[in-house]
Amino acid sequence: MDWKLFVSTFGAIFIAELGDKTQLAALSLSAGSSSKLTVFAGSALALVMSSAIAVAFGEGISRFVSPVWLRRAAGAIFILLGILYIARKGD
């Protein structure tokens, strides 16, 4: 196993998910539920499944597009979304 890749992936996803809608939804569901373990299992499985879909698509796309260009495109999309978020009028 590539531990450097594992740790960097864990760190990036962990930081990205803090305070995200997913975490807030899990917080809300567990606050109104008597079975915290069920909420944890459901939210954990949902994150695993969405990550599996992303990894599968990434693997498929990398057959046609260089990983360098994928990173550049992802970076450009993040910058564009950040600009749109900052520029939008108060909602």
- Please tell me whether the overall predicted TM-score, pTM, comes out greater than 0.85 for this model: no
Percent of the chain exceeding pLDDT 90 equals 57
DSSP letter string over 24-87? HHHHHHHHT-S-HHHHHHHHHHHHHHHHHHHHHHHHHHTTTS-HHHHHHHHHHHHHHHHHHHHH
Task: Compute the mean pLDDT over every residue in the chain, rounded to the nearest whole number.
Answer: 90
The pLDDT assigned to 58 comes to 86
